Amino acid sequence: MFMTRPIRVTVLNDKSDLSVRFDLFERLNTGGILLTNQEIRNCIFRGKFNDSLKKMSKLDEFKVVVRLKESDSKNGTAEEYVLRYLAYLYNYENFEKSVKGFLNDYMKSNSEKALAAKKLTLFKNVLSKLAAAFPGGLSRGQSSITPANLFEAISVGTALAIEEGVVIDIAKLQSLVSDSELKKITTAGTNNKKMVTGRIHYVRDFLK
């Protein structure tokens, strides 16, 4: 019976496109303990950039600011938050609608590049300001978990403000968490280009 059945075989080698590898890996990721998107990226997009994400997610200031569920502590979520910061800061104007695709494309295009010292310095500067503003973690309401959209907006908006020469007011940073307008554009269903750009610019302009 087995001998009469067609078997589809997909061959991957070192010349196979990384996006194809990710898609195939994702389709095969259906049994046992499922891998997160970042765990798949960690396998597919190996290189200097991926190493940088791991190192940045282990910085003390990052751990102060970004609070995750216990179940997310070792599944690549921390590295994905760093990736989100970098992708949105340096490429948010090209975001369309798929967060996963946007992050995949950014990681693919940078996989072999070591993170520039200037970018790392800015990241540390941003995190030092956020850690001073949110010593108990960046969160909203009764939750102690850091929402990805809120982290993206505040970290990237702060970075843009710093790049424009703004001296960051810690009290202003703290007030953003309860700001009604920012809440409106960082809640569920707001991952479209208008909202992504809008919340980043809102934080940047608020801090000026």
- State the DSSP code for 92: G
- pLDDT, position 96: 86
Domain contains 187: yes
Domain contains 9: no
Contact between residue 53 and residue 79 where contact means Cβ atoms under 8 Å apart = yes
- pLDDT, position 12: 57
- pLDDT, position 14: 60
Tens digit of each residue's pLDDT (9 = 90 or more) over 78-94? 999 999 999 999 999 99
Q: If we measure between CA atoms, which residue out of 160, 155, 127, 103 comes closest to residue 147?
A: 155
Dist. CA 140–CA 119, nearest whole Å: 28
Q: If we measure between CA atoms, which residue out of 197, 49, 66 comes closest to residue 126?
A: 66
- Chain-centroid distance of CA 171 in Å reads 25
For residue 9, the number of C-alpha atoms closer than 13 Å in the C-beta half-sphere is: 4
Cβ neighbourhood burial of 98 (10 Å; 0-12, 13-18, 19+) = exposed
- pLDDT, position 152: 95
Contact between residue 138 and residue 66 where contact means Cβ atoms under 8 Å apart = yes
Domain contains 195: yes
Domain contains 190: yes
The pLDDT profile of the chain, 208 residues, written as one tens digit per residue, is 556 667 666 565 565 565 565 565 555 555 556 778 888 888 888 889 999 999 999 999 999 999 998 888 788 899 999 999 999 999 999 998 889 899 999 998 998 888 999 999 999 999 999 999 999 999 998 788 999 999 999 999 999 999 999 999 999 999 999 999 999 999 877 788 899 999 999 999 999 9
Dist. CA 35–CA 38, nearest whole Å: 8
Burial of 54-72, coded b for 16+ CB within 10 Å and e otherwise, reads: eebbebebbebbbbbeeeb
Domain contains 161: yes
- pLDDT, position 142: 79
Domain contains 8: no
Residue 167 domain boundaries: 16-206
Please tell me the total count of domains within the chain.
Answer: 1
Domain contains 102: yes
- pLDDT, position 33: 63
Domain contains 3: no
